C-alpha cells in the first residue's frame, strides 16, 4: 500500500530518503539580466491534420524588467514563424527539433533537442479508460471534453473518461484550488482527497466506490496552486521544490501501486503554464499581492524539475511528460475584454482578465498536446506482434561484420539479465546480419515492413555516443533502407536515414527507461515485395568512429504493420 504523505517536514525528509535529487537553489537575477532555461521533454507528439506550435514566449518566461532571448529552431519538419515554430503533419513521421536560445548578438545561451513524432490520428485499438487529475484548469471540463472530441473525430482507438467530477461522458478529477499534496495526503474538509482511504492511497477502492473502470491512462495537470499558495512571493528554494516533487512521487506511486493501484496504467504529467503573458491578467486576478516574476520563475523551475525527474520513465517506467505548456499561445489563448485605457482616456484596448485559466482557444491548444501524447502512447499498444527473426536476443547466432567483441551480459528491458554487450571495432563498420538462407530466417521485403531493436549505450564511442542503426535490404536488388541513431547516456542525439528510390520511410525512437531505447524503421518496399530480405542491426554505422560498447536486445522484423508491435520473443 502507498502511505499518504503526512506533513511538509516529513515530505521534505522523505524526498531525500527516497532518493529524490536535490534541486539547485534559487538563481538570483541581476537587474536587466536574463538566463533562459529550457524545459522540453524528449518527445513531442503530433497527429496528421492538427497543428503544433512551439511558442517562443512559452519556452522560458521572462522575469519583470528583463530582456528575453531570441530562439532558433532547426528541424527537417515544420517551419519557423514570427513567434516560434509550427508544424502541421500530413502523415506519420519523425525527426528531431533543436531549439537554441540566443542573446542579442546571436550567441547561443542554451540549447535543447526533442523528437517530433507524428503518429496516426487513429492509433490504438478498442477503447482505453483515461483518468484526468488536476486543478481548476481541468475542472471546467473544457480541456477534457476537447480531448474526447478529438478522439471521436480521429476514429480507431477511442477513450472512455473516468472520474467523479463532471457530467455525462465528460468525467474527470479536476478540482478547483487543488494542489499536488491534496491528492497525496488525506486532505482537509475543503480539499478532500478522493483517493484517500485511512492512511493510504487506494485507487482500486476509489474506482470501485465511484463505479468507474480501471484506468489504462492517467493525465495529471497540477502544480499551479502549489506554486502560488505554498511558495508565494519569493524565488522557490530547493527544499520547497523537493517537497512538491515528493508529493508528486506519492501520487504517481499510488496510481501505479501493485497493491492498491494499477501497475499497467501509463501516466502523463502535463507541464503547467505558461500563463497569460500580459501583466494586466495577473493584476486583474491578484491585484498587487504578489510579484508576477516569482510566479513565472517558479513555474519554469517546477517544469524543469518535472522533466528532469519524470520524463521518459526516468523515475517510474510508466510515467512520461507532455509539453502542453508549449502549445498554448500566451497572447491569444487567454481571455480579455475591451475597456478604456484609463478614466481620462476612452480609447478601447484589450485588458486581460484571467492569468491562470486559458480561454476556449487555449484549452483547445492544451487539448491538442494531451490528445497527441495519448495517441502516441496508444500507438505503442499491441496491434500485431509477429516477429519473424529467430534468435532475436542472441547475436552470437547472427553473422557479424567488423569483428565485434562480446562482453558481460547486462540487465535487459524486461528486467532479466539476457542483454549481451558488444564492443565495436575502432573506425570499422560493425553490424549483425540475418541474410537470406540463414537458419530459421525466411523474411521478405513487403509493402509494409518494420524492423526494430532495443539499444543501450554503455560507454566509449565518439563524444560519448554510439552511432547505431537498423536497416533492411532486398537480396535481389540494390534497394536499401536504413536509419542511423546517435545514442548516448540518457539521450538520443540525432537520427538520419536513407530511403530506396521510389519508396518511403519513417522511423522513431521510443524511450524505455533505464538507458534503453527502441529504435525502429518502417519502409514501403512495394517494388521489392516478396524478395528475400537482409535484416541488419548496426553497432557502429559510420567508419569514422571510435569503438563503442553497446547492448543490443530484442531485434524484431514484422510485415503488414507500419509501427512496431510489443516485443515478441523468439527462440
pLDDT tens-digit map of 482-497: 888 878 765 555 566 6
CB 217 within 8 A of CB 267: yes
As beta bridge partners, residue 161 has 130
Return the residue matching grid coordinates 528531431. Answer: 96
pLDDT tens-digit map of 209-244: 999 999 999 999 999 999 887 666 788 999 999 999
Task: Quickly state the pLDDT bin for 134 (edges 50, 70, 90).
Answer: very high
Q: Find which of 33-37, 133-137, 186-190, 352-356 is predicted with most confidence, using mean pLDDT.
A: 133-137
Task: Quickly state the pLDDT bin for 311 (edges 50, 70, 90).
Answer: very high
pLDDT tens-digit map of 30-71: 334 567 889 999 999 999 999 999 999 888 876 554 556 789
pLDDT tens-digit map of 459-517: 887 777 888 889 888 887 667 888 888 787 655 555 666 676 667 788 888 777 778 88
pLDDT at 20 over 80: no
pLDDT at 396 over 50: yes
- Measured between alpha carbons, how far is 328 from 55 in angstroms, rounded to an integer? 7
Average confidence score pLDDT of the chain:
85
Query: What does the block give as the cell for 479?
Result: 534497394
CB count, 10 Å around CB of 437?
A: 9
pTM of the model: 0.69
Query: What does the block give as the cell for 335?
Result: 481571455
φ and ψ at 271, to 5 degrees?
A: -65, 145
CA 73 to chain centre: 19
SS3 225: helix
Note the CATH architecture for domain 395-559. Answer: Sandwich (2.60)
Provide the sign of the torsion angle of the four alpha carbons 487, 52, 369, 284, taken in this order.
Answer: positive
Domain boundaries, the chain: 2-378, 395-559
CA distances from 188 to 1, 134, 220, 228 (A): 21, 17, 21, 19
Domain over 2-378 is classified CATH 3.40.50.1110 = yes
As beta bridge partners, residue 101 has 71, 110
- Measured between alpha carbons, how far is 33 from 554 in angstroms, rounded to an integer? 50
Amino acid at each position: 500500500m502507498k502511505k499518504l504523505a503526512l506533513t511538509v517536514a516529513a515530505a521534505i525528509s522523505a524526498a531525500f530518503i527516497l532518493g529524490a535529487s536535490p534541486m539547485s537553489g534559487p538563481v538570483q537575477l541581476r537587474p536587466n539580466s536574463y538566463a533562459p532555461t529550457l524545459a522540453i521533454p524528449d518527445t513531442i507528439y503530433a497527429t496528421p491534420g492538427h497543428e503544433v506550435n512551439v511558442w517562443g514566449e512559452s519556452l522560458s518566461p521572462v522575469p519583470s524588467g528583463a530582456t528575453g532571448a531570441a530562439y532558433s529552431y532547426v528541424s527537417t519538419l515544420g517551419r519557423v514563424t514570427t513567434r516560434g515554430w509550427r508544424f502541421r503533419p500530413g502523415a506519420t513521421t519523425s525527426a528531431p527539433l533543436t531549439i537554441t536560445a540566443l542573446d542579442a548578438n546571436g550567441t547561443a545561451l542554451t540549447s535543447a533537442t526533442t523528437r517530433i513524432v507524428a503518429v496516426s490520428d487513429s492509433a490504438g485499438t478498442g477503447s482505453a479508460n483515461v483518468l484526468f487529475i488536476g486543478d481548476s484548469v481541468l475542472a471546467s471540463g473544457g480541456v477534457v471534453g476537447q480531448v474526447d472530441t478529438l478522439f471521436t473525430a480521429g476514429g480507431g482507438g477511442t477513450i472512455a473518461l473516468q472520474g467523479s467530477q463532471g457530467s455525462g461522458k465528460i468525467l474527470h478529477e479536476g478540482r478547483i484550488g487543488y494542489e499536488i499534496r491534496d491528492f497525496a495526503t488525506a486532505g482537509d474538509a475543503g480539499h478532500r482527497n478522493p483517493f484517500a482511504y485511512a492512511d493510504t492511497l487506494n485507487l482500486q477502492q476509489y474506482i470501485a466506490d465511484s463505479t468507474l473502470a480501471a484506468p489504462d491512462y492517467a493525465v495529471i495537470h497540477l502544480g499551479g496552486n502549489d506554486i502560488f499558495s505554498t511558495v508565494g512571493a519569493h524565488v522557490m528554494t530547493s527544499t520547497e521544490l523537493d517537497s512538491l516533487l515528493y508529493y508528486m512521487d506519492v501520487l504517481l506511486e499510488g496510481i501505479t501501486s501493485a497493491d492498491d493501484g494499477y501497475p499497467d496504467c501509463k501516466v502523463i504529467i502535463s507541464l503547467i503554464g505558461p500563463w497569460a503573458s500580459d501583466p494586466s491578467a495577473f493584476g486583474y486576478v491578484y491585484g498587487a499581492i504578489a510579484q508576477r516574476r516569482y510566479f513565472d520563475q517558479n513555474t519554469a523551475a517546477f517544469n524543469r524539475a518535472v522533466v528532469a525527474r519524470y520524463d521518459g520513465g526516468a523515475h517510474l517506467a510508466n510515467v512520461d511528460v507532455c509539453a502542453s505548456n508549449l502549445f498554448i499561445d500566451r497572447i491569444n489563448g487567454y481571455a480579455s475584454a475591451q475597456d478604456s485605457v484609463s478614466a481620462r482616456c476612452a480609447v478601447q484596448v484589450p485588458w486581460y482578465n484571467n492569468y491562470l485559466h486559458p480561454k476556449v482557444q487555449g484549452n483547445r491548444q492544451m487539448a491538442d498536446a494531451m490528445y497527441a501524447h495519448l495517441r502516441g502512447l496508444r500507438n505503442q499498444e499491441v496491434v500485431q506482434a509477429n516477429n519473424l527473426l529467430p534468435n532475436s536476443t542472441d547475436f552470437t547466432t547472427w553473422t557479424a561484420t567488423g569483428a565485434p567483441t562480446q562482453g558481460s551480459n547486462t540487465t535487459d528491458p524486461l528486467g532479466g539479465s539476457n542483454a549481451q554487450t558488444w564492443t565495436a571495432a575502432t573506425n570499422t563498420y560493425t553490424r549483425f546480419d540475418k541474410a537470406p538462407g540463414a537458419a530459421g530466417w525466411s523474411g521478405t521485403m513487403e509493402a509494409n515492413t518494420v524492423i526494430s531493436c532495443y539499444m543501450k549505450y554503455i560507454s566509449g564511442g565518439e563524444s560519448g555516443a554510439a552511432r547505431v542503426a537498423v536497416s533492411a535490404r532486398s537480396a535481389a536488388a540494390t534497394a536499401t533502407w536504413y536509419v542511423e541513431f546517435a545514442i548516448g547516456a540518457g539521450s538520443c542525439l540525432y537520427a538520419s536515414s536513407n530511403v530506396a528510390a521510389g519508396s518511403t520511410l519513417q522511423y522513431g525512437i521510443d524511450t524505455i527507461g533505464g538507458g534503453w531505447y527502441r529504435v525502429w524503421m518502417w519502409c514501403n518496399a512495394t517494388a521489392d515485395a516478396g524478395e528475400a530480405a537482409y535484416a541488419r542491426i548496426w553497432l557502429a554505422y559510420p567508419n569514422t568512429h571510435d569503438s563503442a560498447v553497446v547492448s543490443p536486445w530484442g531485434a524484431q522484423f514484422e510485415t503488414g504493420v507500419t509501427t512496431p508491435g510489443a516485443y515478441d520473443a523468439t527462440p
